[in-house]
Amino acid sequence: MRSLFVMDPIERLNIAGDSTYMLMRESTARGWPVSWCTPSDLYVRGGRAWARAETVTTIGEAPHFLRGGTGDVELGEFDLVWMRKDPPFDMEYIFATYLLERVPAGTLVLNRPSSVRSYNEKLHTLDFPELCVDTLVTRDRERIVAFAGTYDRIVIKPWDGNGGRGVLVTHARDPNLRSMIELLTQEGRVAIFAQRYIPEIVLGDKRIILVDGTPVGAMLRVPSGDDHRGNMHAGASVAASQLDARDREICARIGPRLREEGLLFVGIDVIGGWLTEINVTSPTGIQEINRLDGVRIEQLLLDAAVRLHPHAGAAA
């Protein structure tokens, strides 16, 4: 199974916590040839997708990658193409998904480019309103102010943020409320999310990884004492967590949609039993959950990729 990973430069990976590295390492362990490139290395010639890609072999110790040759490769020569570029989800990211749609049908692209492009990680939670807290999406300042008056506290955040960037907790009596709204909406030019604050965030933001719509592990990201955000980028600590009945209800509800959309590797966020995000661009958490639960999620992902490959019999 010859594999290409479209990703950030390998020099910038945080090996101690990176999920893409684990997928690459497991691929090497199976004897699969591995290559990598960045989105800027993708191009189209003759109506088909190509990349300027480098072959690598992953190893467990520093320097972690034994780097090989670099050359132009038509993406149809790969069995698997993994889109693992981290956000921001900007126009360059969107354009990369268009290029990846030029890959021939005999190559499996994960996650499906059209679904990554259309599946906004915050907005699509609202496809399941019974799983979410009361949410307003608007650029109108006064509408948000009125919404704030409905609850003791609310959260406001950008629709395209990641890693906890721009997530603010506020209330109707906050003298900075209007100013915060103006900043996040860029003076009313950009819509933002306003949601009822979930007080259980102090206990942790649960990340659940789903493989082909099935939950395979979870962890809690517990905010530090001086920050309300349950994001590791914001200093949250990681703790073991099991799936409870509500988590399983959420996964059972959204799992069939994820499978239908070709979203093999997904990380959802659940706070106090409420679904807050469905992460499909470059979900992470493999290494943390592996350590806490004694599992090997990268093996489950590659097994699923083999099973879903258009030539599954030959690939196996």
Among 111, 279, 288, 290, the active-site one is 279
User: Exactly one of 18, 162, 207, 212 is catalytic; which is it?
Assistant: 207
Tell me the domain boundaries of the chain: 3-117, 134-197, 200-296
Which of 102, 229, 290, 298 is an active site residue? 229
Active site residue 18: no
Structure confidence at residue 225 as a pLDDT band (50, 70, 90): low
**How far apart are the C-alpha atoms of 309 and 20, rounded to whole Å?**
19
Fold held by 200-296: D-amino Acid Aminotransferase; Chain A, domain 1 (3.30.470)
Interval 240-276: pLDDT, tens:
999 999 999 999 999 999 999 999 999 999 999 999 9
pLDDT reading at 234 higher than 60: no
157 part of the active site: yes
Are 167 and 155 contacting, i.e. CB atoms less than 8 angstroms apart? Answer: yes
Residue 313 has pLDDT above 60, yes or no: no
Residue 190 DSSP SS3: coil
Asked about 279 being catalytic, the answer comes back as yes
Does the active-site annotation cover 269?
yes
Catalytic residue among 18, 121, 212, 277: 277
Quote the pLDDT of residue 162: 76
CB 145 within 8 A of CB 178: yes
Position 165 scores a pLDDT of 83
Q: Which one from 25, 112, 157, 206 is the annotated catalytic residue?
A: 157
- Whether residue 175 contacts residue 193, with contact meaning beta carbons closer than 8 Å, is answered with no
3-117 maps to which CATH number?
A: 3.40.50.20
CA–CA gap between residue 19 and residue 207 (Å, rounded): 14
Is residue 307 among the annotated active site residues?
no
197/187 Cα distance (integer angstroms):
23
Separation CA 246–CA 131 (nearest Å): 9
- Per-residue pLDDT of 132-190, as tens digits, reads 999 999 999 999 999 999 999 999 999 887 777 889 999 999 999 999 999 999 999 99
Annotated active-site residue 77? The verdict is no
Q: Which residue among the candidates 84, 122, 196, 206 is catalytic per the annotation?
A: 122
Question: What is this structure's pTM?
Answer: 0.93
Which CATH fold topology does 134-197 show?
A: Dna Ligase; domain 1 (3.30.1490)
The answer to whether the CB of 259 falls within 8 A of the CB of 212 is yes
Secondary structure class of 295 (helix, strand, coil): coil
Q: What is the pLDDT of residues 7-60, one digit of tens each?
A: 999 999 999 999 999 999 999 999 999 999 999 999 999 999 999 999 999 998
> Is residue 277 annotated as a catalytic residue, yes or no?
yes
Averaged pLDDT of the chain: 94
